[in-house]
Chains A and B, each alone.
Chain A
C-alpha cells in the first residue's frame, strides 16, 4: 500500500534549536498539507502545496516556521527558533487534486511528535 512517510517520528530538543520535519508524499499526488495537532486546538492546517507551489500558509507563524517542497518527493517543515509552545504532533498529508474537483481523500502520515523543552 502506498503511504505518506514522515521523519522523524519523535523529536525532543531544547528551545531555540532548529527543527526540520520531512514528508514523502504518495507518488503521483500533487497536493501536500502540513497540520499541527494539539489537545487544546485540535487539528490545524499550517500550509498546503499544489504541484509544489505554496498555496496557503496563513495558518503558519511566519517569523519562525517555513515550509518548502524541494522536489515532488519531499516536503519539509522547519521551525527556527523552536519554542515550547511548538510542542505538538505535526502531520503531513497528500492527495490528488484537479480543477473543479479535488474530491480525492487526503492520506495522512503517522506524524512527528515534537517536544520542545
Chain B
C-alpha cells in the first residue's frame, strides 16, 4: 500500500528566504506526483504535476523535483513571500490502471512566511 509522508509538518520562515519542502513515498510505481496548495477554508489548488518520466517541473518561483527510485520529491520555493503561507500537500498517483486519477495524499506541510 502506497504511503506518503511530508517533512517538516510545519515551517516558519522570514520573508525572502528560499525553502524546501520534502515528500516521501513508499512505492516507486507511480504515474505522477502532484504538489498542491491549500489555503484555510479552501480546497486544494494544483501547483505542479511531474510525470514519472520527468525529473522536475518549474512554475515561476516554484520548482518541484522527483526522484522516483528513492521515493522522494522536493518543492523548492524561491524568495518566499507572505502570500505563500498555506499548507502544501503532495500526492502520488499509483500505477493502478490506465485511467484512474486516484491520488494518495501526504499529510501536508504548514508554511508560514513572516513579513
**Interface residues in chain A, defined as those with a beta carbon under 8 Å from any beta carbon in chain B:** 4, 31, 33, 42-45, 48, 50, 55-56, 91, 93, 95, 97-111, 113
Alpha-carbon separation in the docked complex, A91 to B89 (Å): 15
- Give 15 A-B contacts (CB < 8 Å), ordered by A residue: A4-B43, A42-B105, A42-B107, A43-B91, A50-B99, A93-B44, A97-B100, A102-B99, A104-B101, A106-B34, A106-B44, A106-B46, A108-B36, A108-B44, A110-B42
Max chain B C-beta neighbours (<10 A), residue from A4, A95, A105, A113: A105
Task: Confirm or deny: B102 has a beta carbon within 8 angstroms of a beta carbon on chain A.
Answer: yes
Near A by CB (< 8 A), chain B positions 69-115 give 89, 91, 93, 98-108
Q: A43-B105, A105-B49, A106-B46 are in contact. Are A100 and B100 (CB under 8 A)?
A: no
B residues near A, CB below 8 A? 31-32, 34, 36, 41-46, 49, 51, 89, 91, 93, 98-108
Name the residue of chain A whose CB is nearest to the CB of B4: A42
Q: Is the CB of A97 within 8 A of B42?
A: no
Q: How far is the CA of A15 from the CA of B34 in the complex (A)?
A: 36
Q: Tell whether A110 pairs with B101 under 8 Å between CB atoms, given A43-B89, A103-B32, A105-B49.
A: no
In Å, the complex CA distance between A104 and B105 comes to 16
Q: Which residues of A contact B93 (CB under 8 A)?
A: 102
Which A residues are in CB contact (< 8 Å) with B98?
99-102
Q: Which of A33, A44, A99 contacts B101 (CB 8 A)?
A: A33
User: Known interface pairs A33-B101, A42-B106. Does A103 touch B51 (Cβ–Cβ under 8 Å)?
Assistant: yes
